[in-house]
Amino acid sequence: MPRSSARSYAFLSLAAAIATIALKLVSYWVTGSVGLLSDAIESFINLVAAAVAIWALTVSVRPPDDEHAFGHTKAEYFASGAEGLLILVAALGIGVTAYDRLLHPRELGQVWLGLSISVVASVVNGATAVILMRAGRRLRSITLTSDARHLLTDVWTTGGVLIGVGLVELTGWLPLDPLVAMLVAVNIAWTGIRLLLQTGHGVLDSAVPKEDRDAIEEILAGYTESKLEFHDVRTRLAGTHRFVSLHVLVPGHWSVQRGHELCEDIEHRIVAILPDTTVFTHLEPVEDPASHADRGLPRLTDAAARGHKH
């Protein structure tokens, strides 16, 4: 099952977060660098985010019920939203800590040992991020892709921190350490804002990606029988599940059976091309003036607005 598979990747993220937290805390302990501390704090957020992801992917796999007739797939947006908020909180905490260290500079110790440990943590995060990104795209999981983007941000953050702390050791300019931590805080905050914006689009029922809409339009364009039209084609995305609705306009003399068979064929073709899709069709007589009224809803292009006998 795709959802079960996605959840297994979330457990991988959880294990990676635990490993990197341990490594980065050791790195901070041996150096006393607030820059490395900021890097460790971000890994704590990774841990919480992975736990939230596991919860969301567990809930999203539940089948529809009386209170949630369209399923529970939108639970994934709670995970990405929670991760975005946690990232902002982490950014604030790092900023406050860095400001205090800027006012009260402190010598660093065993810098090269600490940096070496952080490099190992960064490699773990980078490898995990690549795996999660590929899985998220394959499974169309916003939870996994959000987690992957956060981990990739963590990798770049660690790289910046390593350079900054290394320069502190080489130049002896202690304020550089908290300044690097502040830059980390700004970068983390921007990541959190982007995640929240992405979550907002999902909660507001954004349309499926353009390539999916193009695939639907291509299917409908294949029906070329005269006096057969399609209106009000609408799509929305809920987590990994797609929903498609459209009005099918057929000649009024058609039997109910014939119209039903046409709708069934359309639905099967769309689902065959786009798995995990629920298709709703509404049958109308093409002669009805109301069927041609402008409802202010999306309409297919002229090339796709007619149909063929199958």
Both 171 and 136 in one domain: the answer is yes
Both 41 and 104 in one domain: the answer is yes
194-209 per-position pLDDT tens digit: 878 877 766 666 778 8
pLDDT, residue 52, reads: 76
The residue written with tokens 């993220």 in the block is: 13
Cα angle 151-156-162, degrees, rounded to a multiple of 5: 120
Residue 310 lies in a domain: no
From CA 38, how far away is CA 185, in angstroms rounded? 8
Task: Show which of 156, 175, 203 is a domain's final residue.
Answer: 203
1-10 average pLDDT score: 64
List the CATH number of the domain containing 224. Answer: 3.30.70.1350
Instruction: Look at residue 32 and tell me whether its pLDDT is greater than 90.
Output: no
From CA 49, how far away is CA 236, in angstroms rounded? 26
Amino acid, single-letter form, for residue 113 = L
Residue 309 lies in a domain: no
Contacts of 163 (CB under 8 A, 6+ apart): 180
249-291 per-position pLDDT tens digit: 998 889 899 989 999 999 999 999 888 788 989 998 987 766 5
Q: Tell me the pLDDT band of 308, cut-offs 50, 70 and 90.
A: very low
Helix axes 111-139, 2-31, angle to 10 degrees: 170
Task: Show which of 203, 230, 262 is a domain's final residue.
Answer: 203
Instruction: Look at residue 306 and tell me whether its pLDDT is greater than 60.
Output: no
Counted domains in the chain:
2
Distances (CA, A) of 35 to 43, 207, 210, 233: 13, 41, 41, 52
Both 191 and 136 in one domain: the answer is yes
Both 168 and 219 in one domain: the answer is no
Both 289 and 197 in one domain: the answer is no
Instruction: Look at residue 120 and tell me whether its pLDDT is greater than 90.
Output: yes
Q: Tell me the pLDDT band of 124, cut-offs 50, 70 and 90.
A: very high
Task: Show which of 203, 234, 267 is a domain's final residue.
Answer: 203
289 or 295, which is more confident?
Answer: 289
pLDDT, residue 296, reads: 42
85-108 per-position pLDDT tens digit: 877 887 888 788 888 888 888 888
Q: 10 Å Cβ neighbour count for 179?
A: 18
From CA 281, how far away is CA 144, in angstroms rounded? 32
Domain containing 33 equals: 2-203
Q: 10 Å Cβ neighbour count for 126?
A: 18
The share of the chain scoring above pLDDT 70, in percent, equals 82
Q: Tell me the pLDDT band of 240, cut-offs 50, 70 and 90.
A: low
pLDDT, residue 101, reads: 80
Both 158 and 259 in one domain: the answer is no
Contacts of 42 (CB under 8 A, 6+ apart): 87, 90, 94, 154, 157, 184, 188
Burial of 251 (0-12, 13-18, 19+ CB in 10 A): middle
From CA 300, how far away is CA 79, in angstroms rounded? 34
What sign for the dihedral angle of Cα 284, 290, 295, 301? positive
Instruction: Look at residue 213 and tell me whether its pLDDT is greater than 60.
Output: yes
